[in-house]
């Protein structure tokens, strides 16, 4: 009888030890899974939904905050994680960010993505990475000092998109802060700067849409004129102040009779690069347009708010 009791007791102990080991193993596996979920890239065995990051600007300035949001387009229980990386480094989790919005300081070249998990830490959706670009507008090129060999032809894709005129913001008084800022270090009063920019910005073309095939639509109120344009080279302009500028020229090859024969872009960029804003000259005389120095309607991306436009202007 004693032997049977001993055997039963030993079996019970072994069973309890095995149960504890299994529990420890499951707990460790859960911890490892959570750690991998938080800090490593993901190898998805099943297709996941596509998430979309919104709010990325064409460029930022040093010290700017990047405000992003992400959505899957569907209501689902779970939480987000945001990840960042630079160059060829591994993705690193952005700590304590579990919501569908992100606010961080801009870092040039930094890539950001977002991943959505359910309550069991299964990946439900993931976004494509977006990249942050910083442009402080303080280079020699931006200020008009460059070598001829630095200039290169540019494609219409540098200006594709829908663009808004800044002239309505001037007439509404929303750019007063910009003129006051310029007067602090400039050679004009705020009112004189306002008059100068009023002449430069004035236009009835409040919106311009540019497509990859060279189709450009000019919108004035309810009226739209459209033409298709092909690249016609660039011209270097010499200014009285000693600096220079480059106009990239496109000629109309098809379209409405009222569409201008030529358009010329000037955006302080002299080689292929996506434009953040530009001054646009248009008309039917290529050479006469090159003489125009006082009137330069200016356009920013349609999705920028007036505050974002002002922030860019204040950096100049």
Per residue in 69-115, pLDDT tens?
Answer: 999 877 778 999 999 998 888 999 999 999 999 999 999 999 999 99
Give the 3-state secondary structure percentages of the chain, helix then strand then coil, rounded to 5. 30, 35, 40
Q: What is the pLDDT of residue 48?
A: 81
Q: What is the pLDDT of residue 29?
A: 42
Give the CB-side neighbour count of residue 251, counting CA atoms within 13 A: 8
Q: What is the pLDDT of residue 19?
A: 47
Pairing state between β 262-266 and 278-283: antiparallel
H-helix or E-strand containing 204? none
- What residues in the chain have per-residue pLDDT under 50? 1-41, 43-45
DSSP codes of every residue in 243-303: -EEEEEEEEEEEE-TTS-SEEEEE-S--SS---S-EEEEEES-HHHHHH--S---EEEETT
Q: What is the pLDDT of residue 61?
A: 80
Q: What is the pLDDT of residue 59?
A: 82
**Global confidence as pTM:** 0.65
253 dihedral zone (left: phi>0; alpha: psi -120 to 50; beta): alpha
Per residue in 224-267, pLDDT tens?
Answer: 999 999 999 999 999 988 999 999 999 999 999 999 999 999 99
Tokens of 261: 């024969």
């Amino acid at each position: 009888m004693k032997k049977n009791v001993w055997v039963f007791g030993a079996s019970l102990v072994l069973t309890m030890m095995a149960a504890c080991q299994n529990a420890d193993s499951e707990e460790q596996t859960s911890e490892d899974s959570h750690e991998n979920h938080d800090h490593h890239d993901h190898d998805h065995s099943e297709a996941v939904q596509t998430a979309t990051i919104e709010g990325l600007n064409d460029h930022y300035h040093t010290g700017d905050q990047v405000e992003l949001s992400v959505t899957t387009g569907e209501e689902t229980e779970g939480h987000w994680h945001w990840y960042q990386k630079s160059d060829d480094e591994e993705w690193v989790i952005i700590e304590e960010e579990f919501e569908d919005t992100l606010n961080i300081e801009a870092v040039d070249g930094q890539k950001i993505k977002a991943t959505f998990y359910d309550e069991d830490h299964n990946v439900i959706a993931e976004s494509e990475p977006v990249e942050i670009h910083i442009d402080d507008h303080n280079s020699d090129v931006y200020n008009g000092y460059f070598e001829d060999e630095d200039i290169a032809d540019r494609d219409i894709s540098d200006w594709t998109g829908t663009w808004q005129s800044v002239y309505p913001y001037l007439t509404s008084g929303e750019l007063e802060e910009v003129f006051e800022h310029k007067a602090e270090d400039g050679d004009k009063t705020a009112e004189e700067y306002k008059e100068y920019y009023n002449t430069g910005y004035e236009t009835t073309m409040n919106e311009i849409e540019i497509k990859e095939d060279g189709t450009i639509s000019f919108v004035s109120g309810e009226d739209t004129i459209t033409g298709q344009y092909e690249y016609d080279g660039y011209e270097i302009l010499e200014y009285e102040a000693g600096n220079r500028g480059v106009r990239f020229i496109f000629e109309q090859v098809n379209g409405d009779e009222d569409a201008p024969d030529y358009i010329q872009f000037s955006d302080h960029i002299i080689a292929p690069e996506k434009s953040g804003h530009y001054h646009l000259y248009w008309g039917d005389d290529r050479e006469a347009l090159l003489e125009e120095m006082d009137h330069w309607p200016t356009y920013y991306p349609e999705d920028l708010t007036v505050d974002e436009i002002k922030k860019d202007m204040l950096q100049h």
